[in-house]
Structure 1
């Protein structure tokens, strides 16, 4: 799909795959709108993109956990750029802990960012997309939304929620020619694990299997404005998810040792 002139809004764009998606989309001629809590980082990225590609890049500070901010910031975006063609809901965080040790405040924060914030941003762009019968919602979920593992109970719950919401939304929007894609990656080599894996044990055991942000971002940008249902990475992990769905007890028995490496 030719992205030239398309307006793409990306949450969690201050680093990781969000930043990489912005760069790859700008390289294809898209107007990119960068959203994150860290406005200093966003401004730096915006200047780099405008200097490198000569495209229109915008940056707005947004905490997706704040519904009031979502409303006001998206109003500013519409006033500045007009219609939004693609929304990439990338903002999210996780924290590995045993279920009985999970802090309820952190649990609420995780749902506020990973689920409620995603829904809030999506609701802001849907009316216009439905009216125009054109648009694309891309929700970054996780393989953790397909395979639940120890010490990921809350994080997995948020990603299962994202997949459920996306699947329902896809059906609702099918008659309006608005696409919904979920991105379900395994572990990615980003600063996500600075918070999620405080002990560093998971990163140490999984480092050789970690995906590169650039690779994941490329797959996401290639799928823009196409009716792709899911992007599952890496392929072998997705096969594990299929096996898990069909034979959950067997999968858990065989994978138990690996699951407890967090």
Structure 2
């Protein structure tokens, strides 16, 4: 029972909290007695989730409507969150977007949006929250990356590069904060059953080809929440894909040749 009380009264920022993995994480931290701080663009969804979590778990739940690609607005929102909460214990950078396109067919707007949301908004959140964590002597930053950051595939060149950036940033940040009491964890996932693919794969071709491999967002949330405030370097799901990424790092040419057809399933 001591383990289950670890999160009691912890204030936890969750971006992209209105649906999918973010919503599941919010529910699970509330069930453990933490106070979720919800951030997303949809006020209707946020208000509904806030009502549900406060009624069901009797926790303090705040929400903030924000477009994370608006740099100044996002900065102001983060500062307001810290001021309102008094203290923040964890930051879960979950918001992100993917658009599966060949580079020569992709619009600059989609490329720019992926970098702004997946990378710059994440770094902006860390910039604002990290000094607060260091000053109080503890905090946990969880960055939702992707297996695409370890294994790049066709039609995901830009998306993969954003997740490579998240991994590189997180790995360096972990070293920088090692003596401060601040933990940094990356979460590297294969395909998850969420509305992510509404934008990434509107025709549903890729979803159909990987349907049987898709992760349950609630199981992902469970892993993330159970790892909060522990020195967990990475969460990698599913396990077989994590093993594949290790083989790929050692034998990239062979791996790409053997899995060529699998890699092209986004086509």
Q: TM-score, normalised by structure 1?
A: 0.99
Match runs of 1:156-175 below 5 Å: 156-175=160-179
Residue 231 (structure 1) aligns with: 235
Residue 50 (structure 2) aligns with: 46
Residue 193 (structure 2) aligns with: 189
Once residues 63 and 139 of structure 1 are traced to their aligned partners in structure 2, the CA distance between those partners, rounded to angstroms, is 18
Of 103, 117, 125 in structure 2, the residue corresponding to residue 113 of structure 1 is: 117
How far the C-alpha of 1:64 sits from its partner, in A, is 1.1
Of 4, 7, 24 in structure 2, the residue corresponding to residue 3 of structure 1 is: 7
Q: Deviations over 1:164-185 (max 9, x none)?
A: 0000000000010100000001
Please give the secondary structure, in 2, of the residue aligned with 1:147: coil
Of 185, 197, 202 in structure 2, the residue corresponding to residue 198 of structure 1 is: 202
Deviates more, 1:119-128 or 1:68-77: 68-77
How far the C-alpha of 1:22 sits from its partner, in A, is 0.3
Point out 4+ residue stretches in structure 1 off by more than 3 angstroms: none
Residue 77 (structure 1) aligns with: 81
Asked whether 1:86 is paired with 2:86, we answer: no
Once residues 113 and 202 of structure 1 are traced to their aligned partners in structure 2, the CA distance between those partners, rounded to angstroms, is 22
How far the C-alpha of 1:79 sits from its partner, in A, is 2.2
Q: Deviations over 1:31-63 (max 9, x none)?
A: 110000111100100000000000000010011
Residue 181 (structure 2) aligns with: 177
How far the C-alpha of 1:223 sits from its partner, in A, is 0.3
Please give the secondary structure, in 2, of the residue aligned with 1:240: helix
How far the C-alpha of 1:75 sits from its partner, in A, is 2.2
Once residues 74 and 199 of structure 1 are traced to their aligned partners in structure 2, the CA distance between those partners, rounded to angstroms, is 36
How far the C-alpha of 1:80 sits from its partner, in A, is 1.7
Asked whether 1:242 is paired with 2:246, we answer: yes
Please give the secondary structure, in 2, of the residue aligned with 1:245: helix
Residue 138 (structure 1) aligns with: 142
Of 16, 26, 39 in structure 2, the residue corresponding to residue 12 of structure 1 is: 16
Residue 251 (structure 1) aligns with: 255
How far the C-alpha of 1:225 sits from its partner, in A, is 0.3
Of 152, 155, 158 in structure 2, the residue corresponding to residue 151 of structure 1 is: 155
Asked whether 1:104 is paired with 2:108, we answer: yes
Please give the secondary structure, in 2, of the residue aligned with 1:124: helix
After superposition, the CA RMSD in angstroms is 0.7
User: Gaps spanning 5+ residues in structure 2: where?
Assistant: none
Asked whether 1:122 is paired with 2:107, we answer: no
Residue 26 (structure 1) aligns with: 30
Q: Deviations over 1:144-181 (max 9, x none)?
A: 00000000000000000000000000000001010000
How far the C-alpha of 1:195 sits from its partner, in A, is 0.5
Please give the secondary structure, in 1, of the residue aligned with 2:259: helix
Once residues 205 and 40 of structure 1 are traced to their aligned partners in structure 2, the CA distance between those partners, rounded to angstroms, is 33
Q: TM-score, normalised by structure 2?
A: 0.97
Deviates more, 1:97-106 or 1:230-239: 97-106
User: Gaps spanning 5+ residues in structure 1: where?
Assistant: none
How many residue pairs match? The answer is 262
